[in-house]
């Protein structure tokens, strides 16, 4: 009887993943056997992802990193009464210090990297990815932040940082080597939006070198001509792979 129920559970889970592919649902399924303690929301903007994670994992502590002062003020105000969402005014990069943030007309496209000359042709809205101002911001690394806060394990590292993914991952090599991050959700770019941006295959190769594998792709964005522009990729640690 137990064997039959286990088979049915696996079959139903497979069908859910096949026909209802959604990155937050998949993270919940992948971590259902684990205690989800710490989540890093990198590129938090004004808290869109933090709200979803706080509902999805009600016992978690969410560190939301947002460097732009205007967006950070909204983020901080939004969660001022929440003990579980902790806004951090900093960008996550490959070193600790001060770096220049390129703040664009649409603040959701801000990056530590400048936009390319071709970026405008790929933007969802005309003029949204044009430079507005340059701002000096504090930067931290995943490894350094974990060390300073005595964080031993990160359940989810979510990154929406507009081409800067490899910078942030290079600042997390210690955590990746120790397999101290269970899931990594990050944006993957297929068109030239930012100078020196992380290419999708570079992100995959970098994480594969630490034993992480690509689990799924989500939120595909296409140009009018059918060109794939970007999507989100979910990577799983070797420990999570063993449970699949």
Would you list the domain boundaries of the chain?
23-241
The span from the CA of 14 to the CA of 240, in Å, is 16
Pairing of strands 91-92, 97-104: unpaired
pLDDT of residue 1: 55
SS3 content of the chain, % helix, strand, coil (to 5): 35, 30, 35
Pairing of strands 97-104, 131-140: antiparallel
C-alpha closest to that of 46 among 76, 23, 24, 91: 76
pTM (2 decimals)?
0.90
pLDDT of residue 16: 45
CATH number of 23-241: 3.40.50.150
pLDDT of residue 124: 84
The span from the CA of 185 to the CA of 200, in Å, is 13
Pairing of strands 91-92, 131-140: parallel
Token pair for 177: 């080597």
| Contact predicate 38/63, CB 8 Å | yes
Buried residues in 133-151 as b, exposed as e (16+ CB within 10 A) = eeeebbbbbbbbbbeeeeb
CA distances from 32 to 35, 37, 57 (A): 8, 12, 10
Residuewise pLDDT in 10s, the chain (244 residues): 556 556 655 555 544 444 456 999 999 999 976 679 999 999 999 999 999 999 999 999 999 999 999 999 999 999 999 999 999 999 999 999 999 999 999 999 999 999 999 999 998 887 889 999 999 999 999 999 999 999 999 999 999 999 999 999 999 999 999 999 999 999 999 999 999 999 999 999 999 999 999 999 999 999 999 999 999 999 999 999 988 8
pLDDT of residue 35: 75
pLDDT of residue 32: 77
């Amino acid at each position: 009887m137990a064997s039959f129920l286990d088979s049915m559970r696996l079959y139903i889970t497979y069908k859910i993943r096949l026909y209802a592919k959604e990155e937050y649902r998949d993270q919940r399924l992948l971590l259902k056997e684990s205690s989800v303690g710490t989540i890093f929301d990198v590129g938090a903007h004004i808290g869109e992802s933090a709200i979803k994670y706080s509902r999805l994992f009600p016992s978690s502590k969410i560190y939301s990193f947002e460097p732009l002062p205007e967006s950070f003020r909204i983020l901080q105000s939004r969660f001022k009464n929440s003990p579980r969402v902790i806004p951090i005014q900093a960008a996550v990069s490959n070193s600790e210090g001060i770096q220049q943030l390129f703040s664009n007309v649409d603040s959701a496209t801000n990056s530590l990297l400048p936009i390319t000359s071709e970026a405008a042709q790929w933007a969802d809205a005309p003029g949204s990815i044009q430079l507005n101002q340059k701002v000096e911001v504090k930067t931290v690394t995943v490894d350094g932040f974990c060390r300073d806060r005595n964080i031993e394990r990160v359940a989810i590292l979510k990154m929406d940082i507009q081409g800067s993914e490899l910078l942030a991952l290079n600042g997390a090599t210690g955590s990746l080597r120790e397999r101290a991050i269970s899931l990594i959700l990050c944006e993957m770019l297929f068109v030239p939006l930012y100078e020196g941006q992380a290419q999708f295959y570079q992100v995959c190769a970098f994480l594969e070198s630490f034993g992480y594998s690509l689990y799924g792709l989500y939120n595909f964005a296409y140009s009018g001509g059918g060109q794939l522009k970007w999507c989100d990729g979910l990577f799983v640690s070797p420990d999570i792979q063993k449970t699949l």
